[in-house]
Structure formats: C-alpha cells, structure tokens
Structure 1
C-alpha cells in the first residue's frame, strides 16, 4: 500500500515489552529511494535519547493503526549502537548497527534490500560482516565519512522544486510503499508559486538531481506540465489506476513495469 510518509511522524513505537518512544524522523537513501531507518525519540531512558529502527523489525500490519509495532525488546533497543543524528550516519555505523541486530546489509546486492526484495521481518541471526565489506570499512579509519546517500526526510521537506523552466513549488512530503519500504513520489505543493494551485506528485525516477547545498530538487518536467497534471488529494487512497493516469499524463513508463521480475520490489497494489 502507498502511504504518506508524514503519517509516521509522531507515532508511538511499541516493542514486545512496552513503548520505546515516538517517530521523530525518517532516513532514506537518494539512489534507490529506500526508507532505511526510523529515527525514534526515546526521551531519557536511552543514553543518546534517540535510536535507529530498521524496517526489518517493523510489523507492517500495524501501520494502519496509530502505532508502529516492532519485533524488538526495550533492552535490545537500549543496548543498540549509539547515534548522533546531528552528524551524517556513516556506512561503518550502519554495518555495526545491522550486525548488532543480525540484519543483512542492504547495499551491494542486486535489489533494493541487497539480496532480498523486501525487508522481511524476523531475525536471521547475528551474521559476521563479509570480509570484503570489512576491508572496505577499515579504510575509513577512526573518522569514517558520512554516507552521502542517506538523507533526513525532515530536512528535504520544504526544499524548493525546480522545473525545467523555473521554480514550481516546494517539497511537502513523500509517498512510500509500505511493503518494499521505498519512496515512490515526492508530494509537491505548488500554491506558493501558483495562487489557487494544488498539490501534485512527482515520481522519484523523474527527479534529476537533489542539490543539498541549494536545498532544491530539480526535474526536467516543465512548469506548465506540472500545473496541468492530475491533482493529489491526500484524503484519497492512491491506487494503480491513479498512478497509471499520472504516468500516462507525462508519457512515462510506470515503475511497476520497469521493476517486474527484477530490481526493487513490486508494490502491494501490483499483485
């Protein structure tokens, strides 16, 4: 199912033995557009006051409720590798985190989630980091560089959206597939540029560049095309018919046809 990523913000996160906090932010990568981590505000019961939660541990069936239920214990969360969300999350930190929980590395494989197409819940056992990955991580030394592809959804919201022929609005949010945990669309608010305007969706594969220094997102679509595109109404469920109409309007192939049989996972609506 396609959902508005903003609907996760502020939700209570419940472990097997009690609450652990609430969703404060989401980290995604700007290459495959995978939703890699939820940033949880734990208050004062964990050392850093924040922890990362991977979609591997999330019970997808509970997302329709007002909570996010995870297959973890409070002690597991408390003992997990610390994180400073004011700094970039390094690949070395990610490897340490994933090894702690026994989750597979998502990078380096042919699919959105490494060797798998979905972040299937359940533990695989604490697996050692492969030798080639360990060797690569050792090159980072004591000051590993941040993962330049891992981004905060909260930071990208409000970024300006630049069409081929000028500004069109700003990023209001994101639409993600709750099965594959991948961002499918940017929600763009055009009303500041166009009085009486509307919100529209831009597929992530129509985004040409994100300029982190200029705080902007660019696309080769024109302003007039975006202005005339189908409206987005957040109160209405996004189904395949709407997606097909949106892609047909721009004369673009749907991701569900490009990914069929290979690549990132299919949407639940595609089955």
Structure 2
C-alpha cells in the first residue's frame, strides 16, 4: 500500500516505555529512492534534540492515533549518537547509528533490504546487481562502492525536495507536492506533482523511474517525458487508494516496464 509522506509526517513516535517524539522529516537515498531514516523531533524531554531512527526500527503504525511504535527505550534514544540533521549524513555516521541500535545496515542486504514498514519483510535477499539503475541517480556500481567505503551516502530530505520545480523535456510543468511511500519496504513509489503552474487544478503521479535528473542546487527535477504526456496522465486524488492495477496502468502509460516484468 502507498502512503502520503506528508500524512505520516508529524506522527508521534512511541518507544517501549514512553513517548519519544514526532516525525519531522524523512531521508531517502537518491540512488534507490528508498527512505532510510526518520528524523524525529524529541521535544522537551531531550531539549529539542533531533535524532535519526532507521526505517527498519518501526514495529507498528497506528493510523487512528497517528502514532508509530518502535522497539526501543527512551534511554536508548537518549544515549544514541549525536547527529546534526541539518548536515549531510555520512556513511560512517550511518554505520555508527546502525551499530548502536543493533540493526544490520541496509547495504548488508544488497543495499535494498531490511525489515519493512509495518513489520513485513522486504528485499533482504536481493542482490545489488538485480536492481536496475534509475535515471538521475547514481549507478549500481557507484552505489555499491560507496556502501563499502566511507563516502557520504547522498541522502536527501523529503522536506527539502518537496516544492522543487518539475521540468518536462519541453518546459516547466509544476512542482513536487508530496511523495507516496510503499508500506512494505519504504521505497518511494511516486512523486505527487502539482501542475497548477501550467494548467489549473490537476495533480498527477510521476514514477522516480521517469526522473532523468535532479539538480539539487537549482531545486529542479527533470523528467524524460514531455508536457503533453504529463498533461494526459490520470489525475491524482489523494482520497482514493492507489492499487496495483492503477500502478500498472501508470507505468504502462509512461512506457515503463514493471520492475518484476
């Protein structure tokens, strides 16, 4: 199932012995479009300190109470490594946090694995070589090399990329309004694009596989589709769940082969 990142943002985080804080952002890997970390604002009990929790730490999502639970104690959170969430997170820091919490880093699972959202298993047995390159991202070789080095992992903030301009092959068409996140493996399934800068009132979904390039300095996402194609895409309605049939139809519309084809 796909979830709006904006809807989950702000959810309370509950540890095994008390309230920890609330989600304030997500960090995703720009090579694989998987959310790797939750940025958690701890509030008063840790003097406003922000901490990073691996997405694999989530044990349960309660939509009714807008709360996520994690199998961690408040003391574990308090003693966790200090991280400046306003700066790039290095591979060394990621390894340090994973080691502290006792979780295996995702790069130990072919760089896509881990325990999925809502506690389901994801792609733990998948090899890096079986994962296709995504346009606009680093190559598999570069990513795998980074996973075994001390390079920065190039994590990106969902909050920062929201409102980036969207540029089709023949001109601007709108901006990033939101992200849809898969509930099994924390992959970003789609970017929600608001096209009101080009024509009024329509939002559409764009697969990360249609992203040709992201210019971080210019705050611009470039697509390999033209404006006519985007205009003809089905309108996105946030009140309607996007099912597998809808996803298959979208990929077919944009001429993208399903990942499992």
Which TM-score bucket, shorter chain as reference?
0.7 to 0.9
Aligned counterparts of 2:112 and 2:226: Cα–Cα separation in 1: 30
Aligned counterparts of 1:46 and 1:60: Cα–Cα separation in 2: 23
Conserved? CA contact 2:11–2:22, under 8 Å: yes
Conserved? CA contact 1:38–1:52, under 8 Å: yes
SS in 1 for 2:45: coil
1:158 aligns to what? Answer: 163
| 1:81 paired to 2:48 | no
Selected match of 1:173 from 157, 171, 178? 178
Q: TM-score, normalised by structure 1?
A: 0.81
1:66 aligns to what? Answer: 66
Q: TM-score, normalised by structure 2?
A: 0.84
2:248 aligns to what? Answer: 244
Where does the alignment leave 5 or more consecutive residues of structure 1 unmatched? 123-131, 138-144, 259-271
Aligned counterparts of 1:135 and 1:198: Cα–Cα separation in 2: 43
Conserved? CA contact 1:2–1:177, under 8 Å: yes
| 1:29 paired to 2:33 | no
Pick closer, same or farther for the CA change 1:96–1:246 going to 2, 3 Å: same
Aligned counterparts of 1:36 and 1:164: Cα–Cα separation in 2: 30
2:204 aligns to what? Answer: 200
| 1:233 paired to 2:246 | no
Pick closer, same or farther for the CA change 1:177–1:54 going to 2, 3 Å: same
| 1:210 paired to 2:214 | yes
Report the Cα offset of residue 227 of structure 1: 0.5
Farther off after superposition, 96-105 or 64-73 = 64-73
Number of residues of Structure 1 aligned to a counterpart in Structure 2? 237
Conserved? CA contact 2:36–2:54, under 8 Å: yes
SS in 2 for 1:103: coil
1:11 aligns to what? Answer: 11
| 1:223 paired to 2:227 | yes
Q: Write the deviation string for residues 113-161 of structure 1: whole angstroms up to 9, x where unpaired.
A: 2xx5847959xxxxxxxxx999944xxxxxxx643x2000000000000
SS in 1 for 2:253: helix
1:188 aligns to what? Answer: 193
Aligned counterparts of 1:206 and 1:95: Cα–Cα separation in 2: 31
Where does the alignment leave 5 or more consecutive residues of structure 2 unmatched? 121-144
Pick closer, same or farther for the CA change 1:47–1:82 going to 2, 3 Å: farther
Pick closer, same or farther for the CA change 1:179–1:192 going to 2, 3 Å: same
Conserved? CA contact 2:175–2:193, under 8 Å: yes
